[in-house]
Amino acid sequence: DVKVTQSSRYLVKRTGEKVFLECVQDMDHENMFWYRQDPGLGLRLIYFSYDVKMKEKGDIPEGYSVSREKKERFSLILESASTNQTSMYLCASSRPEVAETQYFGPGTRLLVL
Amino acid sequence: QKEVEQDPGPLSVPEGAIVSLNCTYSNSAFQYFMWYRQYSRKGPELLMYTYSSGNKEDGRFTAQVDKSSKYISLFIRDSQPSDSATYLCAMSVNDYKLSFGAGTTVTVRA
């Protein structure tokens, strides 16, 4: 059974803190994604990685960075958390030949105070 | 205007009813159309995947794509309480970049 796991289900952080969100997939997928999900806005792509150490900006990369040192692991970093980054963060992975079929993790609900 | 529009609902139906969900879009280049289901406190999971226009059926689920009208639909027959979830439409031109609707929350009452 395919699996994408995220390091935390819930996180509470303070404004200005550096926040790390970790994602691991066990399907040997080349593609990995970070989205945020907000009511009324759907899922918006933050960053995409198509290989180790490779990344592309998505639609809303401002305030975020990513790291992919190993194929199975993709990290999202909030350098200095702000209250408008309070959201649900979803990680996903896919094979490049079927890039539209993405497998999602359970999500991390982040609250920035 | 959003690239993909989806009525957020909520939609409440009795068990056994047909659930009808739809999305409209503005980008005529979209070729791949997906429906994801998201249960509360879970990540989305792929439910249906369609390429170009036409219908696709999988058990109680039917996905329809009308590219001429830029309109896609998902029908759930004989709905069950276990179908209660948020349904997200998603579309793609031909790559990894998916454009999602906001999601429609459905409750099936026993």
pLDDT score at A96: 83
pLDDT score at B70: 94
HEC readout, chain B: CCCEEECCCCEEEECCCCEEEEEEECCCCCCEEEEEEECCCCCCEEEEEEECCEEEEECCEEEEEECCCCEEEEEECCCCHHHCEEEEEEEECCCCCCEECCCEEEEEEC
Using the beta-carbon criterion (under 8 Å), do B43 and A102 form an inter-chain contact?
no
pLDDT score at A12: 97
d(CA A77, CA A97): 28
* pLDDT tens readout for residues B37-93: 999 989 999 999 888 888 999 999 999 999 999 999 999 999 999 999 999 999 998
Which of B43, B95, B102 is opposite residue A90, by nearest beta carbon?
A: B43
Q: Within an 8 Å CB–CB cutoff, is residue A102 touching chain B?
A: yes
pLDDT score at B8: 81
Q: What would the mean pLDDT of A96-113 be, rounded to a whole number?
A: 90
Q: Within an 8 Å CB–CB cutoff, is residue A90 touching chain B?
A: yes
pLDDT score at B96: 81
Q: What SS3 class is residue A19?
A: strand
Confidence of residue A2 (pLDDT cuts 50, 70, 90): low
- Chain B residues with CB-CB distance to A43 below 8 A: 44, 88, 90, 98, 100
Dihedral (CA of A64, A106, B34, A30) sign: positive
* pLDDT tens readout for residues A65-93: 999 999 999 999 999 999 999 999 999 99
In total, the C-beta contacts within 8 angstroms joining chain A to chain B are: 61
d(CA A33, CA A15): 25
Q: Which is nearest to B85 in space by CA: B33, B24, B21?
A: B21
